[in-house]
Amino acid sequence: MSNITVSPDDCTRCGGVCVKICPVSIISMKEDKLPKIAKDLEDKCIKCGHCENFCLFNALKTNFEGDYPLSMNERAADIKPEQLAKFVQTRRSIRHYRKKPLNRKLIEQMLDVIRYSPTAANSQKVKWIVVHDPEKVQEIAALTVDWMKTEVEKRPNHPYSLQYNGIIRRWGDWARMRSVITHPTSLSPQYRKGAPGQRPTPIIALAYFELVAKGYGIASCWNGFLKIAMEEFAPMREEMEIPEGYMPSYALTFGYPKQRSTGGAPKRDPLSIKWV
């Protein structure tokens, strides 16, 4: 079966919006005939759905596997530019969270939205690891501290030695340290080793997640300690159960915020642009 089906009754032979919008240029349309994909080009389709989405007459349907967003049948409310600007600009890195655990269904609901974030060539190869169980959280945090100890021993003048030593000294105060390391829930996307263009994909997904979480009233913070530990410390990679052939990209800590923000935006340096 072809990757697309075109309705002869609905297609207006508009000149080929579907032909022009295809990012890999595999849809053709000759004279007054219907758009089609040649059989020898069907494996080049990246299943982006542009041809279907940009056909204003609903004449073209895609035949590959997958599902549409549940909100597809709903008219999305327009967001005014000033509303979107305030929403994005008031995002904050939050490191102190309430003890109230996040419901797994809620996390899955947010990640289901993130399935539609951009991926390289629509590859959709991101795999998620969610550290949710409280005991697992403590184990991951302890391993992060173990990794810091090995780093300080190897490199006493490590650029982060002051921070690492401070965390190591205070590690016994779990209630104080858990927000610094990985409490209450951590999320890490993984990308396939060696796949071209894949490294930015999970970072894009995390950036989407951070904003989607804000919409649900969930606070978050990018966790560089956990990210580096996953890359450099074999016991951590084993504990995180990173899939074979995949690499950790980054990590995000998230949960219900402990303190309430005023909703103000943080100060930033002036915008720097070079026009070329």
User: What is the C-alpha separation between 36 and 64, in angstroms, rounded?
Assistant: 15
Strands 219-222 vs 27-28: parallel, antiparallel or unpaired: unpaired
Whether the predicted model's global pTM rises above the 0.85 cut: no
- pLDDT score for 175: 53
> Residue 262: its pLDDT value, please?
81
Confidence band, pLDDT 50/70/90 cuts, at residue 65: confident
Query: pLDDT: is 247 or 66 the higher one?
Result: 247
Give the residue extent of every domain in the chain. 4-66, 92-255
How far is 168 from 211, CA to CA, in rounded Å? 32
Report d(CA 136, CA 201) in Å as an integer.
Answer: 27
What are the pLDDT digits (tens) for 14-46?
877 899 999 999 998 876 688 999 889 999 998
CATH number for the domain formed by residue range(s) 4-66? 3.30.70.20
Measure the CA–CA gap between 188 and 194, rounded to whole angstroms: 19
Comparing CA positions, the residue from 172, 183, 192 lying closest to residue 242 is 192
Topology agreement, domain 4-66 and domain 92-255:
no
Task: State yes or no: cis peptide before 184, omega within 30 of 0.
Answer: yes
Contact (Cβ atoms closer than 8 angstroms) between residue 254 and residue 221: yes
* Alpha-helix residue ranges (DSSP H) falling in the chain: 17-21, 50-53, 81-89, 104-114, 134-154, 161-169, 174-181, 200-215, 224-232, 234-240
Q: In this predicted structure, what is the pLDDT of residue 180?
A: 54
* Rounded Cα distance, 103 and 112, in Å: 14
Distance in angstroms (rounded) separating the CA atoms of residues 241 and 195: 20
3-state helix, strand, coil in the chain (%, to 5): 40, 15, 45
Judge contact between 21 and 51, C-beta under 8 A.
yes
pLDDT digits (tens, 9 = 90+) for 190-242: 888 877 778 889 999 999 999 999 999 999 999 888 899 998 899 999 999 88
The tokens for 4 are 């697309």
What confidence tier does 68 reach under pLDDT thresholds 50, 70, 90?
A: confident
Tokens read off for 33:
């005939």
The predicted-structure confidence for 156-190, as pLDDT tens digits, reads as follows 888 888 888 888 888 766 555 554 555 568 888 88
| Whole-number pLDDT of residue 204 | 94
Written as six digits, the tokens of 209 are: 């997640």
Give the chain's largest Cα–Cα span.
Answer: 76
CA distance 176 to 167: 10
The stretch 129-143 carries a mean pLDDT of: 88
Which fold is adopted by the domain 92-255?
NADH Oxidase (3.40.109)
- Mention every residue, 6+ apart, whose C-beta is less than 8 A from residue 101: 132, 134, 184, 185
